[in-house]
Structure 1
Amino acid sequence: MAVEILMPGLGLSISEGTVERWLKKEGDRVEKGELLAVILTEKVTLDLPAEASGILLRIIYPAGSKVKVGEIIAIIGDAGESLGSDLKAEHPSLPSSIHPSSTPLSFQDRGDLKISPLAIRIASEHGVDPREVAAEFPGKKIGKDQVLAFLETRKRAGKAPSTPLSPPAQPEDEVRLLRGPMRAMAEHMARSAQTAARVTTMAEVDMAEMVKLRLALKEKFQKEYQVNLTFVPFVMKAMVEGVKEFPILNASLRGEEIILHRQVNIGIAVDTGESLLVPAVRDVATKTIVDLSGEISQLSSKAREGKLSLADIQGGTITLTNAGVYGALLATPLIHQPQSAILWMGKVMDTPVAREGQVVIRPMMYLCLSYDHRIVMGAQAIRFLQAVKKNLENPYPLLV
């Protein structure tokens, strides 16, 4: 009896995944629990185990395919079991573009596209995805001749190529395919920009008391708890206080429903060097500054080492990103869909400010809040930001 292997559920905010590579090929024997494929989402890379023992009868989606959650990506059955022409009838969710008897492509099985720089340049100039060319020449390295033959075939078939990219790559340029985490990040950021009615408001925070407190506790945290005390956990606790007053900042818009989340699960943006990942710290309201410091450190390390699990990146309800560590002062951050807000913190910098009629030097920091104006009113966002500012300027209660 054939068993359908489905694209797994990847969390509330993820509707599709990409088959990064297959670890088995058609005809291979697999055991239940043995790894079949590597699935890439916009947030993390996952290993997909086999749900049954048997023979991998059919790979429906080759490596590089983007698949909706719940769709069939492969079929496991008994040796000699024939699917034949009844495959589409038995499995109506199969894509119409996949022929039941198609042979998986060797370069796709390896998850590696073999193509010369010249071929990439020619394909780019004609607006052609190199993977389309490779699909016509399974198992072969793609060069100039293969790309030109592909173009000629499309011309004869009357299929016009898409609009050429401008400007075309030059011979001295390096051309990289947009794939993997970078492709997922690009698609997510574009979707956010096209979906949310994003507005950004800013506040200037006097961090003098915060700096004093951190300086007083830094050595203690290092010696007793083996964690580096930063401003981030204090900002997270201040966000919780703001959400208590304005819960709409901790909400999600899904279709015609606004979901007000009871827990404050703060996603922390981590730059891995190749992509931006957002693991979530759950139920921040119940955790101490020590707890948060340790968890932030662990999640950041796992993100940079590529060891985040699906559980680590699920469930975020609002996001915090700290670009101040890189010296940035101001930004208009994109909202992490389907959340309603993201808070951006800048560099703490000595700045001349007016205090009681005198110009004094104070450690100041900008907070930039982007919010979805479809469900968050401007007054709510501004007052939320002022609540965060108030708690950071008097941070001692945040230790409780």
Structure 2
Amino acid sequence: MRKTALFLTLSFLILSPTTTYATTTESSLAPHAASAVLMDADTGAVIFAKNPHQRRPIASVTKLASLLLFMEALDKRQMHENDSVTTSSYAASMGGSQIFLKEGEKMSVHDLLKAIALASANDATVALAEHLAGTQDRFVAMMNQKSRTLGLEDTHFQNSNGLPAADHYASAYDLAQLSRALLAHKRITMYTSSYSDYIRKNTPKPFWLVNTNKLIRFYPGMDGLKTGYTKDAKYCLAATAKRQNLRFIAVVLGEPTAPIRNAEVAMLMNDGFSRFTKKPLYAKNQTVVMVPVSRGKWKAVAAITREDVGILTDKANGNPIVHYVVNWRPVAAPVFQGQKLGEVVGFIQKSRVVTYDLIAQTDVPKITWWLMIQRIFQDLIHFGSSAS
């Protein structure tokens, strides 16, 4: 292999008892939903779709976008879970689901997040939005910008909590993608997986929170994410469940009742877990290849996986060959930790089904002049000893 090669590909073949799968559209899985999607959370593969791009009112499922911004702010240390948030008169005025915040009341970010994730509290959502962005309007602008960044083409927000508003909508597909982005923040399921909790614990009036997603208690593996209901939106749910190495996202919009909504989400999840398996390829943070680095302090950097890498396959289909390729290019310093260096591409038969990024494990700064001179002398000495 020449050192000057610009593009390198490693290919591996794996025998697997599965083959390519197609998106299911049979309405028997969600007959009462106006729209629905079942998606593999890791790959984004759509397994079931019913009117997936139809723009609809989504009620409190809106809070997925708010929670995503809150999780990002925590990860970036723009706010902390023990920060104290002071309730504005505007936040205290919210109707619908609420924890009855009073103007001037102080509550921690942690407790506000519990109130949003479990009780779908509109007042808590606005209080935290104002804490992060200054005003709800600025926060809503952030929500819409995030939607554009994620490529959500059928989503637009007018507020942070999903109270009825004109020109406020999303599609089932967009909400599934939004859920994927939210699940990238492992902290979120620490909140959404609880069935009940308390806020104002050390006060004369502790407030009991009960999760509006009853499947958390009754469906094995369910650990999120968000329910919603208004008269126009009807009953909505963006749910996620994990069993072994499979995680699915099910979104239903416009269901006639809460029991029917829950039953149809359970049917979607059952379909996913019964039909599919995942062939593991690499674990999260596993080194896949050492990528050469020119003009770097080190001559190579480990390209690692950002997440568990696998290929989703349908148990019902034949016995084809599943394969994957690892693509990468040599890079020049500086290299930054987390920088994309290549990708793992999975195929079933000849169909490309999934792509995972490979990222730099560490920084590689540019080589110094002194180290470059040392390296040249070392190479000369090595060349001389080899020649003799």
- TM-score bracket for this pair, using the shorter chain length: under 0.3
* Higher helix residue share: 1
* Higher strand residue share: 2
Q: Return the structure number with greater relative CO, CA threshold 8 A, min gap 6.
A: 2
Q: What is the TM-score of this pair, normalised by structure 1?
A: 0.24
Q: What is the TM-score of this pair, normalised by structure 2?
A: 0.25
